[in-house]
Amino acid sequence: MWKLVIAPFLLLVSANCLAELVVTSPSEACSLLSGSGLPGGTWRDQEDGTWGCSSDYLDIGAGSLPNNLAYYVDGGVVSITQVKLVLNYNKPSSKESATKALLSASSRLSQKALGVKLPASISKAINSGKPTTSEAGSGVIDVLREDWPNGKGYEVHVVMR
């Protein structure tokens, strides 16, 4: 009887465990994009029970409050759960160069974090700013979009886990 109850649970848990990053060291994950102007900094307690690191914003464009890109790594004390890029479209009318930067950083991150080329469906979603999910190597990539309540911009997240 217990086998009937436990077997489906184990299948569910093992399927989720199959999706993973090829980089497991927090310090290594934090430095994946250092050569691209997005050094992740030091792995530290986020004071909410999670650990992580993040880059400073990389401005893309000129003027006051340009579009900007940042890199984040999230996890526990000694492990990472996801890496992500966040592009703030502060000036949506000047989105071409910002989108190109996000696509380039996502391609590099996919190779380094998942060991595979960025899937075409993810590239298409980044270019269009539309949400999607795709398997990539042993992991999963999500593209998420959040329109700001003030209507003046939005952000696109590329999350790899």
In terms of C-beta density within 10 A (0-12 exposed, 13-18 middle, 19 or more buried), how is residue 132 classed? Answer: middle
**Which tens digit of pLDDT belongs to each residue from 128-144?**
999 999 999 999 999 99
**Which tens digit of pLDDT belongs to each residue from 13-64?**
333 445 689 998 999 999 999 999 999 999 999 999 899 999 999 999 988 9
- Structure-block tokens of residue 29: 């994950």
**Which tens digit of pLDDT belongs to each residue from 72-91?**
999 999 999 999 999 999 99
